[in-house]
Amino acid sequence: MAYEAAFWRDSGDDERPELSKAQKDRSFARYVDGWGRAGDVALVALDRHDEPLGAAWYRLYPSDDAGYGYISPYIPEITIGVYGEYRGQGIGSLLLGSLVTRAKASDLEALSLSVEPDNPSRRLYLRVGFADVGSNGGAITMRLDLT
């Protein structure tokens, strides 16, 4: 699902790199390498046959291996990926809402994320209450205060 999140544009003309090449890129791999460390939380949306439709997670990053939506080592960064054919059906909203609920129950101060300006998901993040706090490489860094 990290691949779906990172390469959300799918014009059908093979713009996406092969998964094996993407996995070797540190800017991609940091979101999944060593999964299960302290602070990692993930949710998976399944269909009625228990097949995955999408997933969302948050994790903390040290300042020397920061993700695109990094704010601090104490604020987890969210990643959401939904298979293209299931986008626009509320799956991302459900996953995001569930992550926010988990984060509040864990007494987290805030959540962050990175989104490209033309990604339709940005509208969802704004509706939920995320606010722009910066930019990184052309993407917008957003923060949701939980306190």
Query: What is the full DSSP assignment across 6-66?
Result: HT----SSS-SPPHHHHHH-HHHHTTTTTTT-TT-EEEEEE-TTS-EEEEEEEE---GGG-
Q: What are the tens digits of pLDDT across the range 114-128?
A: 998 988 889 999 999
| In the chain, where the domains are located | 2-145
Mean pLDDT of the chain: 84
pLDDT by residue (tens digit) across 133-145? 998 888 899 999 9
Please write the tens of the pLDDT for every residue from 75-122. 999 988 888 888 889 999 999 999 999 999 999 999 999 998 988 889
- What average pLDDT does this structure show over 32-61? 89
The CATH label, of 4.10.780.10, 1.20.1630.10, 3.40.1210.10, 3.40.630.30, for the domain at 2-145 is 3.40.630.30
Q: What is the pLDDT of residues 16-28, one digit of tens each?
A: 555 555 445 555 5
